[in-house]
Structure 1
Amino acid sequence: MTDYSALDHALAADGPLADILDDYAPRDEQLRMAHAVAEAIDGDESLVVEAGTGTGKTLAYLIPALLSGQRVVISTGTRTLQDQLYHRDLPLARAALERPVRTALLKGRGNYLCLYRMERTLEEGRLETAAMADGLQQLRAWAGRTRSGDLAEAPAGSAEGRLQPRVTSTADNCLGQNCPLYADCFLMQARREAQEADVVVVNHHLLMADWALREGGFGEVLPSADVYILDEAHQLPETAARFFGVTISSRQLQDLVRDTRLEQQREAGDSADLAERAGAVERQSSVLRLALGDGTRTAWAEAPEAAIEAASDLAAALESLTGALAPQAARGRGLENCHKRSDELQSSLRGFLANETDAREVAWVETRGQGFALRLTPLDVAEHFRRSRSRHGQSWVLTSATLSVNASFEHFQRRLGVESAQTLQLDSPFDYAANTLLYLPASLPEPRDPRFNEAYLRAVEPVLEASEGRAFMLFTSHRALQQAAEWLRGRGWPALMVQGDAAPKQLLERFRQTAGAILLGTQSFWEGVDVRGPALSCVMIDRLPFASPGDPVLQARAAWLRDQGRSPFGEYQLPEAIIGLRQGVGRLIRDAADRGVLVLGDNRIVSKPYGRLFRRSLPPMPLVRDLDAVTGFFADQSSTSS
């Protein structure tokens, strides 16, 4: 049972955290959450808790987790948050409690250098660019120095782009215990450390991949645990849908073709037929990609006839390759692995083309760059999630800053099948009423109006002038983002940072270091981004973030809900848009001393009946329609700071 006196002392004004952190201040919301988490752990219960920005939710679950003395798995939404939790927050909690807790960080296999694949790539000796060749040599030297093999610690830029899949493994191409370098495998070392740890930090992608493996009867990745704490839990429904579905991607096919050719040269030089049949798979994959067109995200039932024919030809080419690999598989571990992968891919593709789905799945396709993916996605993951929870742990804590809609957790709980969980909602301790404004420019046309984009940009430009840049401009589409970037460049705005011009991490660092910067972003910058202080004083959102009505998964999910007599808009589209908007709004105030203006270009928040739900779900930000109120706010801010 939790020692509540130790918990209270750790979070007190005169406790160990106050000794370690110069700016530490006790927060009632943090203490309430810590007690609720401890009670859930002690009672083997499930808890859903929304903790507003500034609550200090990470320490609020770490302190009781460490005090419980049980084995704990903590999962976060992104690898960045995972690293922050493991390298900063967890050592802080451990130091505050002065407890000898064994901890481990475990990521997906694509984050670790694979010595076998690196050696095969070196042996192959054919790389497309000099930069890739240089990166490979840097990785080879680094491999002799690193203990973890975590590519986040590799020389900058050495494993990026097209080189990364050549030096990492996938679940498909990993040789496992048959690998000649298995004893030195960085991934296996990380997994062994995780098995021995008291607290293991993972991310949602790895957690869902582990559950999908277990559900399919293919073993496990993660150690068993008594307590599961899932941070950034609002991401779980979509992440789970990805991993409990089926995907056939051009990346899988390219890897299979490359590995087949390499293993044929190494282990079956007298079987030139293998290379020819691998080449046929490569050609048919290219034909399919061409037939699908650019920017595709559509239901497979609506795919062009040429794409359906190309996919059928691809399945035949895979079947041919599988047949050629079968008699060669015994000649080496690599060929055996290629045969297994080819067989599984052709079986999955045949199933996809046969449309062996039920009303709870949607078959769809998307293209991105030169790649494509064919997907079968479950429309409801509640039962999958419920089954997985029943197999693991006794205590569950699901937390995020954005889980509720109009003070209700019903939407989130229903999507994950956690209707029986205890719930707790904790508002942010920040003073939004005094330190923020919500500016809704008057007289803007409806977002569907073709004049909207330019009208929106003209309306927000005076705000950018008043804030002297220092702004995030968040968009619901890449097209709107590019139009805005072109328009602002044409108006002579300096220090523009546009998503796509560099990696998100680099853009964010440049934004922090550049006075008066303006960052334009889409989904990557709506959540998980933390800029404190006056460098970010304005967040602008063009539209309410409703999903595109043409999205195939949305269309299928809407039809599925209608078949049950339920409202797709009220039960799915609206709640998801509200949670999305709350995530974007959460970028504005990250510290008690922050002040800022949220600009929203979508008048539906006041003109439509459902707008009330959006407003009730946001922090208490004073709503203004007059530009003078905004310029006055920034003038006051400037005089205060001077």
Structure 2
Amino acid sequence: MIAKIFSSSGALGKAIPGFQPRQPQLDMAHAVHDAIKNGTQLVVEAGTGTGKTFAYLAPALVSGKKTIISTGSKNLQEQLFHRDLPLMVSSLGFYGQVALLKGRSNYLCPERLNRQLIESHTPQADPELLTQLVKVRTWSSETKTGDLGDCEAIAEDSPIIPSITSTNDNCLGKECPSFEECFVVKARKKALDADVVVVNHHLFLADLAIKETGFGELIPEADIFIFDEAHQLPDIASQYFGQSLSSRQLTELAKDIEIGYRTEARDMRQLQKVAERLAGAAMDLRIILGDTSFRGNWREAIKSQAVQREILRINDAFELAYDVLKLALGRSQLLDAAFERCTLLKNRLERVCDTTISGYSYWYECTPRHFSLHITPLSVADKFKEQVAEKEGAWIFTSATLAVNDDFSHFTQRLGLEPTKQFSLPSPFDYQSQALLCVPRFLPEPNSYGVAPKLVELLEPVIKQNQGRCFFLCTSHQMMRDLAELFRQTLDLPVLVQGETTKQKLLTEFMELGNALLVATGAFWEGIDVRGDALSCVIIDKLPFTAPDDPLLKARIEDCQLSGGDAFSQVQIPDAVITLKQGVGRLIRDTKDKGVLVICDNRLVTRPYGSTFLQSLPPIPRTRDLKKVSEFLAQTNQTEVEQVEQKAILEN
């Protein structure tokens, strides 16, 4: 049956114009079918263009079994649910129910919206926020899903979103006056009734962590679990099997106490004092922690007397909140829930400040307005393995980047997997003719002083010749900012920079301009699909080794060394190889794409480990001569011009 579906005269051949059977896609579909049939684990690295989405969707749909599909991000989740899944459902004549399930923070909470509207009429309220709240209320009367991603009236990063959505901490559950209208409950009910549910890794792993504590669950049980972009799982799992406390949680608790005081307990002035103390203590610790966009070692930071003093102030604020909220019990559901959260967060503060427990990394992170304190297990293998064994069924893991030099152990060991089958599928792209990889001569040493000006001088002619149409992927925010500033001074072409607007707007602008240079970091290394001549040059500033002072990396290195391993070859190189493969994958996205990849790091050719990186990449022809790059781009651009002219002649 699987072979028939993927034949030129089969279901996909009839549904997709120009569909061509591909052996790697068929091989993967057969392997997924066998894993489902036998209830086993499967790990597949499927190169870009293999068609892995259809290769796992078809066997899952024809199996008739309950299926959970988890993707790496909300964007991929939307693409799968709204584009790929409907096509497969239609072509296979699938009559089951499908559902999209996101995390709580994506769904409007009617109760919290009502409370915010009441609060926004006070003299202290921001009129702009009130305007946004009114727009959301209008939208809420029309929406069926409550998914704020569909609400065009507010930006995706609007500051009002945390105040009109719920968290596990502040949800009132069945005690909520708006429980019957709850969009989270409706989405979960639809997921429970569905045959195929599309989630994302963050939601799936958050749900596993909640189940482990014995509390309610959001994701239903299933027979088949499929993870796309599975390379992200180990790091995301580490976040959810640990614990964290953030200033955002403290300020949200303070805000709810303030609203409870203003709306339902006006005779308890102490509630206002509690709210002020909590918010103030959180802000003071944020200031003491220092720099923004920084990850630090919490074990080291908490030794500081200044930090200890602020932790004591937060603890005192919790004590006061506990005593006052206890007196208010029964007055209001909001204040009752705040009492429960106060107890929970106080215990969490004690846990993250007890840095004596081994087997965990203790770290903190700062943004301009907030901080978060984290304890992260160095290994999630045992916990994840336990969950897999408990749920049984088929577990399928796939991505374009899972192996390091054809070795899957770096991925499987971190999750405690024991796959019955694991293999790599080659990409159908002809890299020999479609691409060129250049590691230029005369590169500055990585991390040396003044790297950015030298890279701009070296690569500006390439970007000019290609008329933009280039991604410059950086390994740090500082390098991104430095390069962007210098390119804006020297290039006549548009220079777009990550962070100056939303990711989606930036991509749309890049495509519409047709001659831009996009300078970006982390978020643009993966999950970006720009096809055709809109992108024909990808430049990477250096090999993407995680910063050596990153507390999570340091802890994993120490753990590896304690067990007698070589941390550089077992931890740092595999991580960097997977990241580099993701960045390289931005260039060739289609059989008609052509382009140049420039990696500005001599270590690829001067260090022994450079061969591990090169052997893990697609078989792209290599050069060290930028003149060869110019020739390749000139030939590519000439071909594009000829194709446009030929098309114009045919149309006339």
Alignment partner of 1:263 out of 260, 264, 267: 260
Distance 1:23 1:375 in 2: 50
Query: Shift in Å at residue 414 of structure 1?
Result: 0.6
Query: Shift in Å at residue 149 of structure 1?
Result: 0.6
- Identity, in percent, stands at 43
Alignment partner of 2:233 out of 207, 231, 236: 236
Determine whether 1:31 maps to 2:8: no
* Secondary structure in 2 matching 1:329: coil
Determine whether 1:15 maps to 2:10: yes
* Secondary structure in 2 matching 1:411: helix
Determine whether 1:537 maps to 2:536: yes
Alignment partner of 2:174 out of 168, 177, 186: 177
> 1:46-57 alignment to 2 at 5 Å?
46-57=41-52
Distance 1:381 1:79 in 2: 23
Query: Shift in Å at residue 18 of structure 1?
Result: 2.2
- Correspondence for 2:65: 70
Distance 1:183 1:219 in 2: 18
Distance 1:335 1:357 in 2: 34
**1:602/1:464 CA distance change after superposition, 3 Å:** same
In structure 2, what residue type is equivalent to 1:73? I
- Correspondence for 2:277: 280
Alignment partner of 2:200 out of 200, 203, 217: 203
- Correspondence for 2:363: 364
Could you tell me whether the CA contact under 8 Å between 2:41 and 2:418 is conserved in 1? Answer: no
Q: Which runs of 5+ in 1 are unaligned?
A: none
Could you tell me whether the CA contact under 8 Å between 1:139 and 1:155 is conserved in 2? Answer: no
In structure 1, what residue type is equivalent to 2:82? H
Give the total of aligned pairs.
636
Could you tell me whether the CA contact under 8 Å between 1:138 and 1:155 is conserved in 2? Answer: no
Distance 2:547 2:329 in 1: 46
> 1:185-200 alignment to 2 at 5 Å?
185-200=182-197
Could you tell me whether the CA contact under 8 Å between 2:98 and 2:196 is conserved in 1? Answer: yes
Could you tell me whether the CA contact under 8 Å between 1:538 and 1:588 is conserved in 2? Answer: yes
- Correspondence for 1:142: 139
Query: Shift in Å at residue 319 of structure 1?
Result: 1.9
- Correspondence for 2:312: 312
* Secondary structure in 1 matching 2:117: helix
> 1:20-419 alignment to 2 at 5 Å?
20-125=15-120, 126=122, 129-157=126-154, 160-295=157-292, 296-303=294-301, 304-358=304-358, 360-419=359-418
Distance 1:492 1:587 in 2: 23
In structure 2, what residue type is equivalent to 1:605? L
How big is each residue's C-alpha offset from its partner over 1:38-80, in whole Å with a ceiling of 9 and x where there is no partner? 0000011000000000000000000000011100000000000
* Secondary structure in 2 matching 1:235: helix
Could you tell me whether the CA contact under 8 Å between 2:47 and 2:425 is conserved in 1? Answer: yes
- Correspondence for 1:458: 457
In structure 1, what residue type is equivalent to 2:213? G
Distance 2:125 2:455 in 1: 44
Q: TM-score scaled to structure 1, two decimals? A: 0.97
Distance 1:159 1:593 in 2: 34
Distance 1:372 1:531 in 2: 35
- Correspondence for 2:490: 491
In structure 1, what residue type is equivalent to 2:43? V
In structure 1, what residue type is equivalent to 2:64? G
Query: Shift in Å at residue 128 of structure 1?
Result: 5.5
Distance 2:211 2:460 in 1: 53
Q: Indicate the RMSD between aligned Cα atoms, in angstroms.
A: 1.3
* Secondary structure in 2 matching 1:50: strand
Query: Shift in Å at residue 329 of structure 1?
Result: 1.9
Could you tell me whether the CA contact under 8 Å between 1:319 and 1:343 is conserved in 2? Answer: no
Q: TM-score scaled to structure 2, two decimals? A: 0.96
How big is each residue's C-alpha offset from its partner over 1:235-279, in whole Å with a ceiling of 9 and x where there is no partner? 001100111111100110010000011112222222111211221
Query: Shift in Å at residue 158 of structure 1?
Result: 5.1
Could you tell me whether the CA contact under 8 Å between 1:597 and 1:630 is conserved in 2? Answer: yes
Could you tell me whether the CA contact under 8 Å between 1:136 and 1:158 is conserved in 2? Answer: no
Distance 1:430 1:128 in 2: 56
Query: Shift in Å at residue 19 of structure 1?
Result: 2.3
In structure 2, what residue type is equivalent to 1:345? L
Determine whether 1:571 maps to 2:570: yes
**1:156/1:123 CA distance change after superposition, 3 Å:** closer
